[in-house]
Amino acid sequence: MQVTVTTRTRSSSIAGYAAIALIVIGLALPAFASRSLIQDLFFILTMLTLAQLWNLIAGYGGMVSVGQQAFVGIGAYAMFAGVILWGMDPVPAILLGGVAGFLLAIPMAFFAFRLQGAYFAIGTWVIAEVTRLIIAQWKTLGGGTGTSLPREATSDIMGVEAIAQLFGLRDAAARDVLAYWLALLLAVGTMAAIYALLRSRTGLALAAVRDNDNAAQSVGVDARRVKWMVFLAAATMTGLVGALIYVQTARISPDAAFSVTTWTAYVIFIAVIGGIGRLEGPILGVLVFWGLQTAFSDYGSWYLLALGLIAIAVMLLAPRGLWGLIADRWGIALFPVQRRLILEGTRHG
Amino acid sequence: MLETRGLTASYGQFKALFGIDMTVAAGECVAIIGANGAGKTTLLRSITGVLRNGPEMILHRGDPIGALSADRVMQRGIAMVPEGRRLFPSLSVEENLLIGGQVRRGSGHWSLDEIYRLFPILRERRHSPGTALSGGQQQMVAIGRALMSNPELLLCDEISLGLAPVVIRDIYAALPTIRASGAAVVLVEQDISRALSVADRVYCLMEGRVTLSARASEITREAIHAAYFGEAA
Amino acid sequence: MIWLDTVVQGVLLGGLYALFAAGLSLVFGIMRLVNLAHGDLIVASAFLILIVVETLGLNPFLAALVAAPALFALGWALQRFVLNRVLGKDILPPLLVTFGLSVALQNGMLELFSADSQRIAAGPLESASIDLGIVTVGTMPLLTFASAVLVIFLLNRLFYSTALGRAFRATSDDAVTASLMGINPKSVFAIATGLAMVIVTIAALYLGMRANFDPSVGPARLIYAFEAVIIGGLGSLWGTLIGGAIIGVAQTVGAQLNPEWQILAGHLAFLVVLILRPRGLFPRAVD
């Protein structure tokens, strides 16, 4: 009898083809979609990416960070610095956001990893606050009140003219298309990378570290190394996303770029409601969140109050989120990372 | 006084007990023996309510208590000396004893003074942290802690485990006094001869089932061997 | 002389931070739960005291006395019906529930009380001061500090010389064995959170009388409280007072150098302690 280990399920094979089809459609979409749809999709894709990254470190890695706004903010400010101080084109300046996220993650991990369990969360928050307060002292980038990208920089972004001609759009709309494509690239790249990571040996090690730090160490998993790696990678990507978001926004202030509500509370809400610790969760979560946002965000604080209560209710009643309910009910896994044993002979039976 | 009826228990998918029927009469001393993994500790965890069961599976004075939580079971007068002693490290010896009688203080023989009379060494060490004591002394604290509630039934899980023979002898020497106070005692033991020397009756467990139930005085070496290993010797 | 004055003001400010921290520390010590809504609960309590002051026309101290039982009940219910259900080996659910609570509380208060700054009027006490010879200190900061010392003294007495404190420590050590002693860990947790809310009431009283507050200031109070707890060392209440004083002094000294540096200086002091003494200044021997 032959035994093989597989992570593949039937729904995952279908999902694979569907994903490829979706990416192709996504790339071609600006040819016929309205500008507001492109803007909505930009919002959805960037929030999805942030949620996947939070999910990676918290849901899979057990490092519950409430300081993700630090990476979004520092990434955005690094991009602004590149454009304003060094006259860079905003698009390549996005890469500076990744570098800044990475560099900030080193001291953040250094401090926060010293804090046990739940205190890690507040530790990350403190570092995010410190970063915000320091950035607010940076007068050339607007200090506490913030600043905008200069007109000459936004009017001359590489590739925008080509897009404008290709689709017959005005410059502003073409900028949205460019940002959207970059967001799509980041979202697909992030999810593919996380999926590959979770299926690799490092992914197994991460699961082991999450479940039991000491036990994982005793069977030869270098817990510290795995945690550092994942934390730094997620911070780098979060920095990139932050920079991209602010290329599109073109206006920045410390309070907005380091907002715990927007970049951490919303992101956690998306992951929680969709399902923590699974790739499908944030996808479902971001769609629900976008729906709520579109329908109710006019209600301001009532809306936020409801979001908080919904998150509590989900944790109490369905701690594995909406996707958890679906998976339990129908046994679907689009991105299976669970290893299953298959006995030869039963496989085709 | 205590009765289990078809008691089953499981840890997730792993079934640990398959229909245990057992009785303990008031004032009686019952020994439960069996190899490692036979289900002895699971049985005690079920009775004390650490593991929850169907209500009717465990009866105390005729009341179904199988579904009660551990604190409610204890308040009915069923006290436990857990395996590995499990003293509270941030409590002193005396505080460990006091907490045993803090919620339920049944009327009866036992008080702090009586515990100190039973185990005089504890009086000397009463201000030390519980965990600073030797294994044998810790076991005395664990027994004293359970007695402080003046229980009707005292459940002891492996009280001789990991202790030197001379220490075990000292601890068993306290059993007659405990029984004289009126408490029924259930001893889960690996040390069969020690258990038989004090018990009225014996149950032997194997793989989650009762394979032998007999009066301690009538039991034979062959019967134990058969019950332990599942076949005639 | 100005520096001595700055340090004294900082130490007294630390009393307020120790009051913020004591409730957080109590709950963490007993059930390893970090309540991310702690700061927002302080602000909500300040609003409740304000309402009592304004509707019943009571003195703020009496108003706090009126609010305390209600807030004890709130904490008890929060623990009993919500937090107990998510406590377990996984730290993620309780963190996320309290984070959700924090967002909900902030926005609920925003709707009820608007974003305007409020203050609990304390009459002549607000501006009163006492001349201590070398320095002159405000009566209110001194009262705050004295209250912090008293609260920590009483909490220590409660922990180490009462049956309830014994049950707290036993449950914190080993909840399963505590239940074998007839203790219901879930009701112990509920009492602990209720008690933490009584301390929160005291913290809220001084928060509201000393300065303006609005619905958004909670998270910063949580962070100061957390920093005081970590600097002091987990499980050490007196350490928490010293931790609060260190944050307070760092803030007043920072503000003296440049008003914009006040908050930043407090955070930096925390980070320095975290580098030098990762387990805090007075770590508990048993952990």
Assess whether pLDDT exceeds 50 at residue A61: yes
Q: Which of B211, B7, C106, B49 is nearest to A308 (CA)?
A: C106
CATH class of residue range C2-276: mainly alpha
Higher pLDDT, C243 or A153: C243
Over range A272-292, report the average pLDDT: 91
CB contact under 8 A, C264 and A260: no
pLDDT for res A339: 64
pLDDT for res A5: 66
Query: Would an 8 Å CB–CB cutoff place A47 in contact with chain C?
Result: no
Q: Which of C71, C45, C51 is nearest to C207 (CA)?
A: C45
Cα–Cα distance for residue pair C10/C8, rounded to 1 Å: 5
CB contact under 8 A, C176 and B70: yes
Q: How confident is the model at residue C287 (pLDDT cuts 50, 70, 90)?
A: very low
pLDDT for res A340: 62
Strand A147-148 and strand B2-11: pairing?
A: unpaired
Q: How confident is the model at residue A346 (pLDDT cuts 50, 70, 90)?
A: very low
pLDDT for res A240: 97
CB contact under 8 A, A315 and C96: yes
Assess whether pLDDT exceeds 60 at residue C28: yes
Cα–Cα distance for residue pair A271/A334, rounded to 1 Å: 16
Q: Count Cβ atoms within 10 A of the Cβ of residue C284 and give its class: 0-12 exposed, 13-18 middle, 19 or more buried.
A: middle
pLDDT for res A8: 67
Lowest mean pLDDT among C25-29, C38-42, C74-78, C200-204: C25-29
pLDDT for res A349: 33
Q: How confident is the model at residue A216 (pLDDT cuts 50, 70, 90)?
A: low
pLDDT for res A2: 65
Choices 3.40.50.300, 2.40.420.20, 1.10.287.1770, 3.10.20.90: CATH for B2-85+152-229: 3.40.50.300
Q: What is the pLDDT of residues A267-281, one digit of tens each?
A: 999 999 999 888 889
Length of chain B counted residue by residue: 233
Query: Would an 8 Å CB–CB cutoff place C65 in contact with chain B?
Result: no
pLDDT for res B141: 96
Q: Which two tokens stand for residue A177?
A: 């298309």
Assess whether pLDDT exceeds 70 at residue C263: yes
Share of chain C above pLDDT 90, in %: 79
Lowest mean pLDDT among A61-75, A138-152, C195-209: A138-152
Q: How confident is the model at residue A152 (pLDDT cuts 50, 70, 90)?
A: confident
Lowest mean pLDDT among A25-34, C144-153, C170-179: A25-34
pLDDT for res A343: 58
Residues of chain C in contact with residue B102, where contact means CB-CB under 8 angstroms, are: 163, 166-167, 181-183
Assess whether pLDDT exceeds 60 at residue A107: yes
Cα–Cα distance for residue pair A271/A68, rounded to 1 Å: 13
Share of chain A above pLDDT 70, in %: 90
Over range A246-254, report the average pLDDT: 93
Residue A166, C-beta contacts closer than 8 angstroms, at least 6 positions apart: none
Domain spans, chain B: 2-85+152-229
CB contact under 8 A, A111 and C271: yes
From the first residue on, what is the mean pLDDT of each consecutive set of 10 residues in chain B (233 residues)?
92 86 94 88 93 91 93 95 93 95 87 94 93 92 96 93 90 92 92 88 91 86 78 50
DSSP A191-241: HHHHHHHHHSHHHHHHHHHHH-HHHHHHTT--HHHHHHHHHHHHHHHHHHH
Q: How many contacts, defined by CB atoms under 8 Å, are there between A and C? A: 119
Assess whether pLDDT exceeds 80 at residue A333: no
| Crossing angle of the two packed helices A201-211 and A223-249, in degrees rounded to 10 | 100
User: Which residues partner with C163 through β-bridges?
Assistant: none
Cβ-based neighbour number of residue C141 at 10 Å: 22
DSSP A67-135: -THHHHHHHHHHHHHHHHTT---HHHHHHHHHHHHHHHHHHHHHHHTTS-HHHHHHHHHHHHHHHHHHH
Task: Say how far residue A237 (Cα) sits from the centre of its chain.
Answer: 8
Higher pLDDT, A6 or A174: A174
Query: Coil, helix or strand for C119?
Result: coil
Higher pLDDT, A233 or C133: A233
Determine which of C31, C92, C277 to mutate to test the interface with A (most A C-beta atoms within 10 Å): C92
Domain spans, chain C: 2-276
Residues of chain A in contact with residue C101, where contact means CB-CB under 8 angstroms, are: 308, 312
User: Which residues partner with B32 through β-bridges?
Assistant: B188, B203
Domain spans, chain A: 33-273
Q: Which residues of B touch C (CB under 8 A)?
A: 48-50, 69-71, 74-75, 79-80, 82, 86, 88-91, 95, 98-100, 102-104, 129, 145, 149
Judging contact as 3 or more Cβ pairs under 8 Å, the answer for B and A is no
Query: Would an 8 Å CB–CB cutoff place C193 in contact with chain B?
Result: no
Q: How confident is the model at residue C92 (pLDDT cuts 50, 70, 90)?
A: confident
Lowest mean pLDDT among A92-101, A338-347, B222-231: A338-347
Assess whether pLDDT exceeds 50 at residue C145: yes
Cα–Cα distance for residue pair B224/A125, rounded to 1 Å: 63
Whether the model clears a pTM of 0.80, i.e. scores above it, the answer is yes
Strand C129-131 and strand B201-206: pairing?
A: unpaired
